[in-house]
Amino acid sequence: MKNTKRRFVPGGLHLGREIIRLLLKDIRVELREPNTLLIVASFALSTTIATAIASGGVQIGNFERSLIYWLTTFFSAMMSMSHSFTREEERGTAFFLHLIASSYAVFLSKLIFNTIFFIIIQGIITAAFLFFIEGLVASWKYFLLIAFSGGIALATSSTILSAIAAKSSTRNALFPVIALPILLPILIAAIHATAESFENYKMLFPREIIFFLAFSLALFSISILIFPYIWNSE
Amino acid sequence: MHGMTIVAQNISKKFGEKTIFKNICFCASPSHSIAITGPNGSGKSTLLEIIAGIRKPSEGVIIYQQNGHTLPEQTANRFFGFLSPRLRFYDELTAAEIVETVAKNPEARKRGFYLITELGLSDYYHMRIGKFSTGMIQRLKIALSLINDPLAILLDEPSANLDAKGKEVFISFLKNLIPYKTIIIATNEEHEAALCTGRIALGS
């Protein structure tokens, strides 16, 4: 075997390369067996269609529409995000990740993957919602901004919660239990802000967007600090 | 110098109240490879995982050194190649994709293909892992443990599930690597243990 000369690689570059390799791996695995994506897309479609049929052509109030939108989003997050770490533990591939990458690379790659994945899911939910549920959107700009920033907050929180739940023997039951109290403030704020974007043509910049981004940043900082301990716990 | 020195000082491991092993001390280097032997349940795999930094010892410390400098514990695992029965791959990915995931640079990818070819898997390079036999997976694990030209190679039951030809290729790899790399093997195969200059017998 040929021995190659070792080159100095800065730590940040090393981390960046690890993240890219893991991210590519996750994308390939998801594309080969897109079960999660299909299940969540089916859930989003069936929920919105069922709501549209149940309302029988009667226009639903703005608050109720917002409630339906965010509950669909919330349960889609519960179904899809919980898999990010629990699947690695259940398949026994977490050990593989331990061997090939640092804990920071594992967490950041999962966070990036979850965020991209959830933006796609939310795109599907939003399209289905707007198509099937009758009603106006007064402020498109803020509706989309609230949906996007709220989605990022859900993805960030779900990633670290999934890592915590994955270490438990009752991981599938534990995830929704620990997720609900943490995601509830996001959910409540998102429902109110979205309802306003549906009805208010002269809506001012909603403070909820700042809240979602600050929440994501705070949770990201805490996650970076605690994840190595969670990941390396036996 | 292509190896690292691994110094274990009074390593003990307990699971609950049960002591698996106690006060293990050794120094492994390119000139001093080590075989860990012992009956099932004696803690061979656990000791290897402690050396690799995957598990924490209940007592004691492991020190990693290269050219007289101590390597930080959290980065030491970058310098290991580890073959373990606990290692599982993604059934959806091909061997080539697993190699790409593990290889840290383009040279490592080339080395990966070379090792895969030497181990007789080149025809299956683009086949999904889910279709591999256990022997083929073991060959892939051997290739992956060497792919990044690691300073230290930790091998846990390396010839398990290999046929006669596979064992022959593996032993020839090992003989070539032993003078240059720091090698620690957990095994009960006498011919593998005999290649090492030192031995730790657990459970005795």
ipTM for the complex shown: 0.89
Read off the pLDDT of residues B114-137 as tens digits, 9 standing for 90 and up: 999 999 999 999 999 999 999 999
How long, in residues, is chain B?
204
Tell me what pLDDT residue B2 has: 61
Specify the pLDDT at position B71: 85
Mean pLDDT of A27-35: 89
Per CB-CB distance under 8 Å, the chain B contacts of A232 are 54, 56
Residues A29, B82: C-beta atoms closer than 8 Å: no
DSSP letter for A2, please. Answer: P
**What is the C-alpha to C-alpha distance for residues B183 and A147, in angstroms, rounded to an integer?**
54
Ranges of residues in chain B with a pLDDT under 70 are 1-2, 204
Find the DSSP H helices in A1-34: 11-32
- Residue A5 pLDDT > 80: no
- Contact check, Cβ <8 Å, B82/A17: no
Q: Give the confidence band of A40 by pLDDT, cuts at 50, 70, 90.
A: confident
Q: What is the pLDDT of residues A107-149, one digit of tens each?
A: 999 999 999 999 998 999 999 888 888 888 899 999 999 999 9
User: Is A99 in Cβ contact with B97 (below 8 Å)?
Assistant: no
* Under 8 Å between Cβ of B88 and B138: no
Q: CB distance B101–A33 less than 8 Å?
A: no
**What topology is assigned to B5-201 in CATH?**
Rossmann fold (3.40.50)
Best residue in A20, A96, A106, A234 for a mutation probing chain B (most B CBs within 10 Å): A96
In angstroms, the CA A199 to CA A210 distance is: 21
Rounded CA-CA distance A1/B155 in Å is: 18
Give the pLDDT band (50/70/90) at residue A202.
confident
Q: How far apart are CA A113 and CA A28, in angstroms?
A: 11
In chain B, residues with a C-beta closer than 8 Å to the C-beta of A100 are 101-102
Q: Taking CB atoms and an 8 Å limit, are B82 and A3 in contact across chains?
A: no
| DSSP three-state, residue B34 | strand
In this model, does residue A225 exceed pLDDT 70? yes
Among the partner residues B77, B101, B115, nearest to A21 by beta-carbon distance? B101
Closest residue in B to A21 (Cα) is: B101
Q: What span, in angstroms and rounded, lies between the C-alpha atoms of A97 and A89?
A: 10
Residues of B in Cβ contact (< 8 Å) with A29: 90, 92-93
DSSP B95-110: HHHHHHHH-SSHHHHH
Which burial class, exposed, middle or buried, applies to A47 when counting CB atoms under 10 A from its CB (0-12, 13-18, 19+)?
buried
Closest CA to B148 of B187, B101, B195, B90: B101
**Residue A7 predicted with pLDDT over 70:** no
B165 touches B120 (CB < 8 A): yes
pLDDT of A1 > 70? The answer is no
Give the DSSP H/E element, type plus range, for residue B73: helix B73-76
Nearest CB partner across the interface for B88, out of A2, A14, A91: A91
Task: Tell me the average pLDDT across A81-101.
Answer: 88
Q: Is the pLDDT of residue A226 over 70?
A: yes
Contact assessment for residue B119 and residue B166, using Cβ atoms and an 8 Å cutoff: yes
Nearest to B92 among A21, A24, A33 (CB): A33
The yes-or-no verdict on residue A59 having pLDDT over 90 is: no
Report CB contact under 8 Å: A96, B82.
no
Fill in the amino acid letter for A118.
F
Strand partners, B199: B35
Q: Are B35 and B187 in contact (CB under 8 A)?
A: yes
The average pLDDT across A81-99 equals 88
Q: In DSSP terms, which residues pair with B32 in a beta bridge?
A: B29
In one-letter notation, the amino acid at residue B36 is I
Q: Which tokens go with A19?
A: 């993240």
Half-sphere exposure in the Cβ direction for B26 (13 Å, CA)? 23
Domain-wise residue ranges, chain B: 5-201
pLDDT at A12: 66
> B18 CB near a chain A CB, below 8 Å?
no
Handedness of CA A108, A147, A47, A171 (dihedral sign): positive
Burial class (CB in 10 A: 0-12, 13-18, 19+), B196: buried
